[in-house]
Amino acid sequence: MAGKIDKKTYEKRLEELQTELVKLQQWVVAKGLKVVVIFEGRDAAGKGGVIKRIAEKLNPRVCRIAALPAPNEREKTQWYFQRYVAHLPAAGEIVLFDRSWYNRAGVEKVMGFCSDEQHQDFLRACPEFEKMLIRSGTILIKYWFSVSDEEQEKRFLERINNPLKRWKFSPMDLESRSRWVAYSQAKDEMFAYTDTKHSPWWVVNSDNKKAARLNCISHFLSQIDYQDLEHEKIILPDIDKKDYVRVPINEQSFVPEQY
């Protein structure tokens, strides 16, 4: 999907896709599927916006977002994948990883948060780890969001100048700009090791946010062979209010209406 998308067209298509996501959710529950979706990419590439649109109409007990903070001192001593394993889905669940174990191949490598030996060990171990997940019955889908330098700069400036978005900006964003080449080289090396036949990367062009959201959600839906399940007819019963007397409530307990 190329070019600008007007708001009406975007919202109509998004509603259609979110309706399909609800059908997918019901299929995942009914069939006991385990689904993991990884979202990676440069800062301000639009990962969060897509994750939000996928999850916002779904049952949070079925579809969870895993956005892990930096590891604490105890977690730093664990097997690297250990803290991510704790967030993997059980049967009938979808987990959306807003960044994932691929932190080691990106920010940790570039910022010196891990040693070269740890980085190389990750690149060798990751394909095997993902093979184990897939063999265990997990559906694993990986997205890389690609944004141009010009569009990234525009979004950074918007975050800096907009009070509602200022929280999205961090000192790490500045570092990612100043270490552009290092991040690019780390990403290329990561793809060389982990863009495998059994677990490929899917690249999303995200300069156009609306198109990126629609394209990614549409592709995600295409990766799982789901069906629209029939629902039992629901009859809403009448409320039986007999033998109930409402207890008086202090008027000061009510929130005043202002709008």
H/E run at residue 107: helix 107-111
Q: Which amino acid is at 113?
A: F
Q: What is the pLDDT of residue 1?
A: 45
So what's the pLDDT on residue 249? 75
Query: Would you tell me which CATH number, out of the four given (3.40.50.300, 3.55.50.30, 3.40.50.150, 3.40.250.10), belongs to the domain 7-227?
Result: 3.40.50.300
Spatial distance between the Cα atoms of 217 and 212, rounded to a whole number of angstroms: 8
Burial label for 24, CB within 10 Å (0-12, 13-18, 19+), is: buried
What is the reported pTM?
0.90
Report domain extents, the chain: 7-227
Sequence-ordered strand ranges (E) for the chain: 34-41, 63-66, 93-98, 138-146, 201-205
Strand 34-41 relative to strand 93-98: parallel, antiparallel, unpaired?
Answer: parallel
Q: Which residues of the chain have pLDDT under 70?
A: 1-3, 251-252
Residue where the block lists tokens 């977002």: 65
DSSP labels, 142-156 = EEEEE--HHHHHHHH
